[in-house]
Amino acid sequence: MGFGTPPSPVTVNVAKGQVEVGFNSDPVNDTVAVDTADQPLTEGAISVSLPDGAVVKKASLLCVLGACQNGTTQTDVDADVFLAKDGEAYGAAVLELAPVLMLTEYKGTTVAVVLPVDVSAKVDAVGDYKCQVKVTQSEANSVKYVSSFILIVSYSMA
């Protein structure tokens, strides 16, 4: 099991009549070396499958984002997280954080953060979803990123 890759699906009883299931994307690696706004990292893909008759009650997205300083200038990183049904355009970010990561000037500095957000308005049924992080760096340093996503869906049976 790699960074940000739990077994999928993970099922836990939440309350009487409700179940919570987690679906994950594979982790992806990217390198960004510019200070231009909104640099897209590689998309993550998540497939949600639920039993027939399941009714989605709530959905939460966990974005696991790690960064490693490959340059020698302090770099602050802003991150915007996006989620959409596969085949649809992204729209507004579901989470915007500025700055979320702060890398010191020392090469090899590594930080990671888990960003949780309620996405119940976007996840209402089984299907394929895509997730993406867009980063804006304060400096044009080379920064290596690892991102992965976990979509947690709470449902009950109709």
Instruction: Kindly state whether residue 50 falls inside one of the protein's structural domains.
Output: yes
Task: Answer whether 54's CB lies under 8 Å from 116's CB.
Answer: no
Does the predicted TM-score (pTM) go above 0.85?
Answer: yes
Task: Answer whether 23's CB lies under 8 Å from 155's CB.
Answer: no
- Number of domain units in the chain: 1
Q: What's the pLDDT at 122?
A: 94
Q: What's the pLDDT at 158?
A: 76
Q: Name the more confident of 64 and 7.
A: 64
3 state DSSP class of 36:
coil
Instruction: Kindly state whether residue 1 falls inside one of the protein's structural domains.
Output: no
pLDDT confidence bin for 11, thresholds 50/70/90:
low
Instruction: Kindly state whether residue 63 falls inside one of the protein's structural domains.
Output: yes
- Can you tell me the distance from the alpha carbon of 42 to that of 40, in angstroms, rounded to the nearest whole number? 7
Q: What's the pLDDT at 93?
A: 95
List the CATH number of the domain containing 132. 2.60.120
pLDDT surpassing 60 at residue 37? yes
pLDDT in tens, 108-143: 889 989 989 999 999 988 999 999 999 999 999 899
Instruction: Kindly state whether residue 3 falls inside one of the protein's structural domains.
Output: no
Instruction: Kindly state whether residue 4 falls inside one of the protein's structural domains.
Output: no
pLDDT surpassing 90 at residue 14? no
- Can you tell me the distance from the alpha carbon of 120 to that of 63, in angstroms, rounded to the nearest whole number? 15
- Can you tell me the distance from the alpha carbon of 49 to that of 52, in angstroms, rounded to the nearest whole number? 9
Instruction: Kindly state whether residue 15 falls inside one of the protein's structural domains.
Output: yes
Instruction: Kindly state whether residue 5 falls inside one of the protein's structural domains.
Output: no
Domain residues for the domain of 47 are: 10-157
pLDDT confidence bin for 7, thresholds 50/70/90:
very low
Q: What's the pLDDT at 71?
A: 87
pLDDT in tens, 56-89: 999 999 999 999 999 889 999 999 999 999 999 9
pLDDT confidence bin for 18, thresholds 50/70/90:
confident
